[in-house]
């Protein structure tokens, strides 16, 4: 693992690191904020999974998560959204290929060799983080934006007990039924839709739910509401009697201005679960 950059921020350190990844068969880059308290011992970790077109950098520089993570004494990791580089398949569309990994393990050509973001985010990167940094493996929470909200919700529900809390900003809630999902799942996972269900938050909510607090924010002026389908997840949460809060935020869109506005609430929400 090599250090790309380290900047002091809010009394802690905002680092960017790169490493050879067995899961994706190439070099992966991630951002990690460690609060001042990490100098004295392991701190809890909040995962922030990013959305379409993003790298590790967007939320790291735009969300201001560090301000609230420093106050709460938690670390935040910002993984990339796909494998990248020479020899990695791509597509001209912004919503397929590089920058659009959808947090799945691709089984289809040409994606299968590198697009294994599920394994990367749920196995390889955790192993690296907990061995190389002062982070407490028993104190994890997860959140994300848009495609990353989809990742956070599906991963949280798939690893019971791993995450104390889950939240999401404008997540893709029902990808097997929408334009942000059907195309990508067909490309990455194949035409057999039975393989898709493990990566759909609404279907996972119907089947198993999440054993812990859940917070979802969605802007009412989001230009992608038709793709996100919060109504499907809302219905599934209510039907299941899942504990959790879904907030429809009047006038907010899909941008990082929306994310940064509510980041304080999300980090505070996770800190309460992690320290509570």
The catalytic site residues sit at 146, 222, 254
Q: Which of 252, 266, 269, 274 binds a second copy (CB under 8 A)?
A: 252
Complete DSSP assignment for 27-70 = EEEEEEEE-GGGGTS-EEEEEEE--TT--SHHHHHHS-HHHHHH
149 within 8 A of 169, measured Cβ to Cβ: yes
- Under the binding rule (CB under 8 A), the answer on residue 9 touching a second copy is yes
Token pair 């907010």 is at which residue? 252
Q: Which stretch binds a second copy (CB under 8 A): 61-69, 132-140, 182-190, 193-201?
A: 61-69
Q: Which stretch binds a second copy (CB under 8 A): 39-47, 87-95, 127-135, 259-267?
A: 259-267
Complete DSSP assignment for 161-176 = TTEEEEEEES----GG
- Under the binding rule (CB under 8 A), the answer on residue 256 touching a second copy is yes
- Under the binding rule (CB under 8 A), the answer on residue 219 touching a second copy is yes
Minimum distance between the CB of residue 5 and a second copy, rounded to whole angstroms?
9
Q: How many angstroms separate the CA atoms of 201 and 249, rounded?
A: 20
Minimum distance between the CB of residue 163 and a second copy, rounded to whole angstroms?
26
Q: How many angstroms separate the CA atoms of 154 and 159, rounded?
A: 9
Q: Which of 87, 161, 251, 276 binds a second copy (CB under 8 A)?
A: 251
Q: Dig out the tokens for 223 from the structure.
A: 């230009």
- Under the binding rule (CB under 8 A), the answer on residue 21 touching a second copy is no
1 within 8 A of 30, measured Cβ to Cβ: no
Q: Which of 2, 7, 85, 123 binds a second copy (CB under 8 A)?
A: 7
Give the H or E element holding residue 247. strand 245-249
Minimum distance between the CB of residue 253 and a second copy, rounded to whole angstroms?
6
For residue 119, the SS3 value is: helix
**Binding track, positions 162-201, relative to a second copy; x by CB under 8 A:** ----------------------------------------
Minimum distance between the CB of residue 214 and a second copy, rounded to whole angstroms?
24
- Under the binding rule (CB under 8 A), the answer on residue 223 touching a second copy is no
114 or 254, CB closer to a second copy? Answer: 254
Cα distances from 78 to residues 20, 106, 124, 169, 194, in angstroms, run 17, 21, 14, 15, 30
Q: How many angstroms separate the CA atoms of 19 and 27, rounded?
A: 5
Which residues contact a second copy by CB under 8 A?
A: 7-11, 14, 61-62, 64, 66-67, 219, 221, 251-253, 255-258, 260-261, 264
């Amino acid at each position: 693992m090599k250090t790309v950059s380290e900047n002091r921020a809010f009394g802690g350190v905002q680092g960017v690191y790169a490493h050879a990844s067995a899961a994706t068969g190439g070099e992966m880059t991630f951002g990690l904020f460690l609060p001042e308290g990490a100098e004295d011992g392991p701190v809890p970790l909040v995962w922030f999974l990013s959305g379409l077109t993003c790298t590790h950098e967007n939320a790291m520089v735009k969300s201001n998560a560090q301000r609230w993570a420093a106050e709460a004494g938690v670390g935040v990791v910002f993984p990339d959204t796909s494998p990248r580089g020479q020899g990695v398949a791509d597509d001209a569309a912004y919503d397929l290929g590089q920058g659009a990994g959808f947090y799945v393990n691709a089984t289809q050509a040409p994606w299968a060799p590198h697009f294994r973001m599920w394994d990367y985010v749920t196995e390889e990167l955790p192993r690296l983080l907990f061995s190389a940094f002062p982070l407490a493996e028993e104190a994890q929470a997860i959140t994300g934006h848009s495609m990353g909200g989809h990742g956070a919700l599906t991963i949280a529900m798939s690893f019971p007990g791993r995450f104390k809390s889950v939240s999401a900003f404008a997540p893709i809630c029902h990808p097997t039924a929408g334009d942000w999902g059907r195309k990508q799942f067909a490309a990455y996972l194949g035409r057999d839709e039975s393989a898709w269900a493990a990566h759909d938050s609404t279907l996972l909510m119907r089947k198993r739910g999440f054993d812990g607090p859940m917070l979802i924010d969605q802007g009412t002026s989001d230009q992608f509401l038709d793709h996100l389908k919060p109504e499907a997840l809302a219905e599934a949460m209510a039907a299941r009697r899942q504990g959790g809060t879904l907030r429809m935020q009047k006038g907010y869109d899909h941008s990082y201005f929306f994310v940064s506005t509510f980041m304080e609430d999300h980090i505070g929400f996770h800190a309460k679960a992690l320290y509570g």
